[in-house]
Amino acid sequence: MSGPVSTKDTSDTAVPDVPTPTPTLEISDSRVAQVGHTMVRRALPRRTRRTVGAWCFADHLGPAAVTGDQGLDIGPHPHIGLQTVTWLIEGSLLHRDSLGYEQRVSPGQLNLMTSGGGIAHAEETSGTYVGGLHGIQLWVALPERTRHAEGGFEHHEDLPKLELDRAEVTVLTGEFAGQQSPARADTPLVGADLALRPGRTTLPLRADCEHALVVLDGAVSVGGDRQNSSIEPGALAYLGSGRDELGLEVREPTRAMLLGGEPFESPIVMWWNFVGRSREEISVAYKEWSAGTDRFGRVDSPLPRIDVGPPAWAVSG
Residues that bind Mn ion (CB under 5 A): 2
Least distance in angstroms from the C-beta of 142 to Mn ion: 14
Alpha carbon of residue 177 to chain centroid? 21
Q: Which is nearer to Mn ion, 30 or 86 (CB)?
A: 86
Who contacts 155 (Cβ-Cβ below 8 Å, separation ≥6)?
103, 105, 109, 110, 111, 112
Reduced to 3 states (helix: H, G, I; strand: E, B; else coil), residue 290 is helix
- Position with the least CB separation from Mn ion: 2
Q: Is 86 helix (H, G, I), strand (E, B) or coil?
A: strand
Backbone angles phi, psi at 289, to 5 degrees: -65, -45
Largest Cα–Cα separation, the chain? 59
Q: How far is the CB of 118 from Mn ion (least distance, A)?
A: 13
Cα 291 to Cα 313: distance, rounded to the nearest angstrom: 19
Task: Give the shortest CB-125-to-Mn ion separation in angstroms.
Answer: 14
Residue placing its CB nearer to Mn ion in the complex, 2 or 30: 2
Name the minimum Å distance from CB 141 to Mn ion. 14
| Cα distances (Å, whole numbers) of residue 84 to 15, 77, 291 | 23, 13, 24
Q: Could you give the residue ranges of the DSSP H alpha helices within the chain? A: 279-291
Nearer to Mn ion, 75 or 160 (CB): 75
Q: How far is the CB of 124 from Mn ion (least distance, A)?
A: 12
Which of residues 2 and 170 has its CB atom nearest to Mn ion in the complex?
A: 2
CA distances from 299 to 2, 75, 111, 272, 284 (A): 15, 9, 17, 19, 20
| Smallest distance, Mn ion to C-beta of residue 185, A | 19
Name which of 87 and 176 has its Cβ closer to Mn ion.
87
- Burial string for 289-303 (b: 16+ CB within 10 Å, else e) reads beeeeebbbebebeb
For the beta sheet containing 131-141, the strands, ordered from the edge strand earlier in sequence to the opposite edge, are 31-35, 38-44, 55-66, 131-141, 82-90, 110-114, 152-156
Residue among 86 and 146 whose Cβ is closer to Mn ion? 86
Return the C-alpha torsion angle 74, 272, 185, 195, nearest 10.
-60
Taking the least distance from each CB to Mn ion, the nearer of 2 and 301 is 2
**Least distance from C-beta 89 to Mn ion, angstroms?**
19
For residue 287, give every residue at least 6 positions away whose Cβ sits within 8 Å of its Cβ, in sequence order, or none. Answer: none
In the bound complex, what is the minimum distance in angstroms from residue 21's beta carbon to Mn ion? Answer: 32
- Of 238 and 296, which has the nearer Cβ to Mn ion? 296
